[in-house]
């Protein structure tokens, strides 16, 4: 027995799992932690998993703060109880359930189906792994009241998650997310969780949903003539061991692209993600194998999706014929510029359209929308907020597209979450459109900057794991609020937006203004020189994130590299000044 003293509160929480009606394997693991690993015991039991911007997500293992049969069972029972309260007159409440390629994927999806059906709720369960956006589509297509996908997106292999969706196909938002947690917290004993499946209420779905979904993705196409002329465009695609392996190539084929190459080693579904350090397409190394493949086959475009195929990373050839990675802001810029240009050319703009971006995403998306005469919305980080705006405007205005800097994009509204399948198809179409103009996709960026100014962004993260890490991140945010910087890199802070206090502080005019968005632990510092620094704890990972944005007027396309380097140095100086 270790001599480390364990917090009595945590010990009591763990003892419940030893004395309750838990399976013997679980009890043995809890006992081992109590005797041999007090730190892991503390992390496993110090709190309950809660819904964040991505739902329920955590390390797999025993404990109240871990993904396991009982936490998933309790979340599902709580969701089932809430559904019954919200739809009391419904003859048959329905839910769709999907899963990605992670470890314990079918186990957790099965537990979800067990508990839902045991509560008299009809379950549409996918026959195999599917992209998260297809789950969102299925909810609406099958007229479900909710949905669940088992995924931890791009988190490390030890993680899994439980994303819950409402009847509009969007992730749970306030008050539903908090109310579901409230129902979960009411469950005092695991005997209250109904684990016995009702087979008559579980229906397996698959190919028929794929067909409908791909049909809707194809319907987004705006330049079929450009694709016909450049159908031989060489594209390399990798799902990074995830769910995009089937539907992204199918989508590209439906669009008319004939030269799509895969990376065979990464087509294999594997929750250990053996060929990459991280399955996150935001990480440059995740695209290494795909870029090597592109060099072998002389491709000009590389696309990579994360395990649940809701985020996409892009690599393109630059003017020196070298592959470079686009960041999320650059991809969003190209997509939105293309969408609005084609909507205008095709006579589709009526004055009732709108776009959406998150507050930490590049302001160039705002500029492109405004110049195009299209209304835009800013919202908090998390696609559930984008889905909420689409829902609020349904029947009144038409959503065109939008997204967030973290590689998540959505075109059209038949899905209500970020969708890498449709994004991959639209990025490829944009490349064909550029080719029709005799340009590489990358060459569109300098042309856009000539019109809107040269925007440069970068993301930096600091990881702090466990209970101690969470407390440290909380302290960092408190310090930024109590003692905010007066200047950053020699440029005065002229405005602070505090989304937790829901206030904007104009330091030049000495005025305050209410922010209408929901409360969120986000701070933004706006600088005299046009810079913007956003700080927020991640809702899905043990990180504090810093978003840096700088801008300069741009008038000479020949000086693209020079301006790019200049703005990079400015961001470097900001990071150094902040002591990161």
Q: What is the CA radius of gyration of the chain?
A: 24
| 10, two tokens | 């945590």
Cα–Cα–Cα angle for 152, 172, 43, rounded to 5 degrees: 45
| 398, two tokens | 């038409």
In the chain, what is the straight-line distance between the N-terminal and C-terminal CA atoms, in Å?
A: 40
Ramachandran region, residue 471 (left: φ > 0; alpha: ψ -120 to 50; beta: rest): alpha
Distance CA 80, CA 423 (A): 33
Minimal CA–CA distance to 162: which of 95, 81, 99, 103? 99
In sequence order, the 6+-apart residues with CB closer than 8 A to the CB of 426 are: 220, 335, 338, 339, 411
| 425, two tokens | 């198809």
Judge contact between 338 and 372, C-beta under 8 A: no
Distance CA 99, CA 102 (A): 8
Q: How many residues are there in the chain?
A: 580
Q: Quote the distance between the C-alpha of residue 275 and its chain's center.
A: 22
Which stretch of DSSP H or E encloses residue 460? strand 454-463
Phi first, then psi: what are they for 459, rounded to 5°? -115, 135
Minimal CA–CA distance to 367: which of 355, 352, 381? 355
Residue 153 is among the residues annotated as catalytic for this protein: yes
Distance CA 570, CA 424 (A): 32
Distance CA 190, CA 195 (A): 10
Distance CA 220, CA 400 (A): 10
* Biggest CA pair distance of the chain: 74
| 115, two tokens | 């508990």
Distance CA 172, CA 49 (A): 15
Phi first, then psi: what are they for 272, rounded to 5°? -90, -10
Judge contact between 148 and 121, C-beta under 8 A: no
Phi first, then psi: what are they for 318, rounded to 5°? -90, -170
- Identify the bridge partners of residue 551 per DSSP, sorted by sequence position: 455
Judge contact between 520 and 380, C-beta under 8 A: yes
Catalytic hit among 136, 153, 369, 520: 153
Using H for helix, E for strand and C for coil, what is the string for 473-523? HHHHHHHHHHCCCCEECCEEEEEEEECCCCEEEECCCCEEEECCCCCCCCE
Distance CA 427, CA 305 (A): 13
Just list the catalytic residues.
153
């Amino acid at each position: 027995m270790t001599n480390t003293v364990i917090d009595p509160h945590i010990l009591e929480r763990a003892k419940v799992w030893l004395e309750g009606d838990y399976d013997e394997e679980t009890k043995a693991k809890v006992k081992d932690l109590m005797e041999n690993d007090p730190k892991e015991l503390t992390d496993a039991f110090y709190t309950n998993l809660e819904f964040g911007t991505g739902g329920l997500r955590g390390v797999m293992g025993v404990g109240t703060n871990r993904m396991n049969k009982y936490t998933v069972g309790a979340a599902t029972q709580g969701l089932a109880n809430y559904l019954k309260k919200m739809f009391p007159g419904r003859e048959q409440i329905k839910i769709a359930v999907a899963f990605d390629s992670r470890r314990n994927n079918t186990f957790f999806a099965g537990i979800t189906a067990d508990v839902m059906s045991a509560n008299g709720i009809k379950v549409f369960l996918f026959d195999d792994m599917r992209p998260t956006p297809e789950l969102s589509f299925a909810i609406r297509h099958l007229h479900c009241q909710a949905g669940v996908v088992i995924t931890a997106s791009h988190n490390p292999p030890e993680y899994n998650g439980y994303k819950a969706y409402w009847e509009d196909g969007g992730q749970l938002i306030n008050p539903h997310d908090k109310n579901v947690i409230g129902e979960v917290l009411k469950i005092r004993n695991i005997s209250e969780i109904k684990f016995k499946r009702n087979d008559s209420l579980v229906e397996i779905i698959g190919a028929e949903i794929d067909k409908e979904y791909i049909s809707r993705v194809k319907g987004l196409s705006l330049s079929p003539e450009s694709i016909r002329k450049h159908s031989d465009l060489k594209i390399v695609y990798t799902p990074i061991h995830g769910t995009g392996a089937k539907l992204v190539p199918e989508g590209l084929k439906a669009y008319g692209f004939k030269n799509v190459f895969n990376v065979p080693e990464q087509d294999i579904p594997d929750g250990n993600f053996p060929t990459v350090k991280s399955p996150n397409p935001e990480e440059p190394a995740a695209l290494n194998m795909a870029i090597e493949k592109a060099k072998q086959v002389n491709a000009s475009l590389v696309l990579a999706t994360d395990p649940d195929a809701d985020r996409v990373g892009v690599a393109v050839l630059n003017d020196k014929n070298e592959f470079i990675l686009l960041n999320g802001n650059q991809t969003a810029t190209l997509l939105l510029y293309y969408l609005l240009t084609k909507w205008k050319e095709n006579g589709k703009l009526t004055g009732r359209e709108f776009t959406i971006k998150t507050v930490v995403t590049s302001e160039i998306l705002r500029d492109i929308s405004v110049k195009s005469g299209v209304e835009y919305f800013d919202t908090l980080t998390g696609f559930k907020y984008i889905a909420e705006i689409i829902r609020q405007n349904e029947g009144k205005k038409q959503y065109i597209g939008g997204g967030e800097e973290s590689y998540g994009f959505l075109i059209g509204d038949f899905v209500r979450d970020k969708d890498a399948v449709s994004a991959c198809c639209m990025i490829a179409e944009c490349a064909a459109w550029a080719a029709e103009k005799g340009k590489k996709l990358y060459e569109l960026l300098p042309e856009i900057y000539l019109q809107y100014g040269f925007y440069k962004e970068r993301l930096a993260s600091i990881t702090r794991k466990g209970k101690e890490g969470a407390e440290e991140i909380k302290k960092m945010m408190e310090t930024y609020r109590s003692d905010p910087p007066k200047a950053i890199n020699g440029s005065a802070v002229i405005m602070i937006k505090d989304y937790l206090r829901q206030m904007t502080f104009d330091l030049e005019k000495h005025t305050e203004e209410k922010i209408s968005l929901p409360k969120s632990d986000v701070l933004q510092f706006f600088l005299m020189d046009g810079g913007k620094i956003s700080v927020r704890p991640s809702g899905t990972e043990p990180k504090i994130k810093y978003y840096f944005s700088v801008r300069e007027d741009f008038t000479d396309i020949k000086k693209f590299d020079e301006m790019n380097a200049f703005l990079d140095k400015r961001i470097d100086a900001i990071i150094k000044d902040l002591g990161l």
